[in-house]
Copies of this chain bind each other. A is one copy, B any other.
Amino acid sequence: MNVALCGAGVVGGGVLSIISSLPNTPFIVTKVLVRDIHKERDFPLPTSASYTTDWKECVQDVDLVIELIGGTTLAKDIVFTALRNNIHVVTANKALIAAHMTELEEILATSTGSLGYEASTGGGIPIIRSLQTSIISSDKVTSVAGILNGTTNFMLSKMAAEGCSYNDCLKEAQSLGFAEADPTADVEGHDARAKICVLARLALGVSIPEAAISCTGISSLTTDDFNYAKTLNSTIKLVGTARKVKLTNFLGNVSETVQAFVTPCICPMNGIIANVNGATNVVQIVSESLGTSHLLGAGAGRFPTANSVVADMQAINNNLISTAFPVPLNNEIIQDPDYTARFYIRLNVKDQTGIIMMAGELCHANDVSIHAVLQDPISDSTNVPFVITTEMCRKSQVEKFAKSCSELEWCLGLPLVMPIIES
């Protein structure tokens, strides 16, 4: 199989290294697309290959294209053109898959090329293939959720274990190369959102535009939140979720909806998700026959990601690659922009009498039922963090409550809201 490698960075080098170590490798890399031919790299160019800066050379006269450029501009041209030319494509590009699933499905319908994208979601975790060939062909998934971003999990694990601040953890993650100079995509949850978008399509059969997925990052979390989480025998993780929920309207009609969101969550320590630390990712799947399953592994990094790329290449070479977007057994669902959960609400207030009472009244006014109130002894009466946990309610109710509080004189800023997950 003649292969063009587009993008010769960290993962690309890993792919070349793994391919060269395969006994009787069926893959002959002929082209390597780079921006700068003269840049020094930490791997040798295979003798069969030549560098090129012209992407069009990579989508002809080859059997398979590996797309590791990222983004949705040049990468899109390469992937779309290759598939239209009946060339197989393997990509690690979650942004591209998330943004263009429907178009990719249309192109694949008339292409003899296959699309492998195991590396796009969950790095080294074989979640895409497991969903395609072990789960959705026989089972109905009701929920897919997980820690889908290694950078933020590294930071949150550190904040929980060492009590350090968000800013200190971010600086350390940046100095270790875990976080980029502009960490927005990671810390604001956009990276996790693209991945939950891919998983929602695959597991639940719904194409949700990324922009329609509610997304809250980790930058508002403080050491107070980790302390209160500990009081709740929990920790905080950034979790992406897509799940089917039955909603009953006021006429009693039941409709099946999907709720998709990315947000920091209070995760109980006796569950699996809370115990996944460092840069590790985890995907939790709840399905009718299997109940709850978890897949854990390296979410990023040169060799884990490269392994997923090469596994897809082998699957294509062995005719074992699945239809890219098989239709799940049950896919008649509409999207619910809101979601239900028990919630954790952290308010920072100026200490004065009657706050609990007023907060209680506002909860009542928004039909939010209080489960517990947590307040550590006050150390600074000008800024007292205290926490309300709620019974099951909708996020919109809690947000209305939070907004009402923020408009009162004693409340310092908008209260922080995050769901409490069960496991």
Interface residues of A (CB under 8 A from B): 14, 18, 21-23, 118, 124-126, 129-130, 133-135, 137-139, 270-272, 275-277, 287-298, 303-304, 306-308, 310-311, 313-315, 318-322, 329
Asked if A124 and B298 make an inter-chain contact with CB atoms under 8 angstroms apart, the answer reads: no
Specify which chain B residues have a CB less than 8 angstroms from the CB of A313 in the assembled complex. Answer: 138
Asked if A294 and B296 make an inter-chain contact with CB atoms under 8 angstroms apart, the answer reads: yes
7 nearest A-B residue pairs (beta carbon): A293-B297, A126-B134, A138-B310, A289-B303, A137-B314, A289-B307, A294-B296
Known contacts A134-B311, A292-B298, A294-B296, then 16 further A-B pairs from the complex at CB < 8 Å, ordered by chain A residue: A18-B138, A22-B138, A22-B329, A126-B133, A129-B130, A133-B315, A135-B311, A138-B313, A271-B275, A272-B276, A288-B303, A289-B304, A290-B298, A291-B297, A319-B319, A320-B321
Asked if A311 and B124 make an inter-chain contact with CB atoms under 8 angstroms apart, the answer reads: no
Asked if A133 and B290 make an inter-chain contact with CB atoms under 8 angstroms apart, the answer reads: no
Asked if B124 and A289 make an inter-chain contact with CB atoms under 8 angstroms apart, the answer reads: yes
Chain B minimum-CB-distance residue to A284: B296
When all copies of this chain in the complex are counted, the total is: 2
Q: Which of B290, B303, B318 contacts A307 (CB 8 A)?
A: B290
| Given A18-B138, A130-B126: A296 in contact with B308 (beta carbons within 8 A) | no
Specify which chain B residues have a CB less than 8 angstroms from the CB of A272 in the assembled complex. Answer: 272, 275-276, 296
- Cross-chain pairs A/B with CB under 8 angstroms, 9 sampled: A22-B329, A118-B134, A129-B134, A130-B134, A135-B307, A138-B313, A272-B276, A288-B303, A294-B296
